C-alpha cells in the first residue's frame, strides 16, 4: 500500500500521448490505508482502556477519562478470553466517526 500508485502506470498508446490517471487507484489505496490506521488506533485504544482497568483505584486525567468512558460505553472490559474482532470493529468505528476525539475535546478543549 505504501508504493505510490503512479509507479503502477502502464503505457496504453505506445508512449505517445499517454496519460494514465491513477487517481482512482490512489483514492482506493488511501481509503484502505485509513481503514488500517483506524484499526491500529482501535487496538491501541482498547489496550489503553484495559490498562486503565488494571490501574484502579488510580484516576486518569480528564481527557483520558473522557476517552475511556466513550470506549467503555461500547466495549466491556476484557475479563475472560474472547474474540476481539467485534471490539476492534466497534472502536474503529468510533475513531472513524471522531467520537472519541469529540468527547475528549468537550472535556479539555480543542486539540491542535
pLDDT score recorded for residue 24: 83
Q: What is the pLDDT along the chain (112 residues), one digit of tens a residue?
A: 667 776 666 667 676 666 667 788 888 999 999 999 999 999 999 999 999 999 989 999 999 999 999 999 999 999 999 999 999 999 999 999 999 999 999 999 999 8
CA-atom Rg of the chain in angstroms: 20
CA–CA gap between residue 53 and residue 35 (Å, rounded): 27
Q: Buried b vs exposed e over 86-98: b needs ≥16 C-beta within 10 Å?
A: ebbeebbebbeee
pLDDT score recorded for residue 71: 98
User: Dihedral of CA 26/31/32/37: which sign?
Assistant: positive
Distance of CA 95 to the CA centre of its chain: 5
Given a contact cutoff of 8 angstroms between Cβ atoms, the answer to whether 100 and 94 are in contact is yes
pLDDT score recorded for residue 19: 65
pLDDT score recorded for residue 22: 77
- Rounded to 10 degrees, the C-alpha dihedral 4/10/14/19 comes to -50
pLDDT score recorded for residue 26: 84
Q: Which runs of consecutive H residues, i.e. helices, occur in the chain?
A: 23-54, 62-74, 85-97, 99-108
Whole-model pTM above 0.75? yes
Amino acid at each position: 500500500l505504501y508504493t505510490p500508485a503512479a509507479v503502477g502506470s502502464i503505457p496504453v498508446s505506445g508512449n505517445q500521448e499517454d496519460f494514465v490517471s491513477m487517481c482512482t487507484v490512489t483514492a482506493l489505496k488511501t481509503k484502505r490505508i485509513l481503514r488500517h490506521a483506524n484499526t491500529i488506533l482501535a487496538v491501541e485504544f482498547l489496550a489503553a482502556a484495559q490498562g486503565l482497568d488494571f490501574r484502579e483505584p488510580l484516576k486518569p486525567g480528564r481527557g483520558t477519562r473522557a476517552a475511556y468512558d466513550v470506549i467503555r460505553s461500547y466495549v466491556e472490559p476484557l475479563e475472560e478470553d474472547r474474540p476481539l474482532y467485534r471490539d476492534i470493529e466497534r472502536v474503529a468505528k468510533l475513531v472513524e466517526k471522531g467520537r472519541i476525539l469529540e468527547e475528549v475535546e468537550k472535556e479539555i478543549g480543542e486539540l491542535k
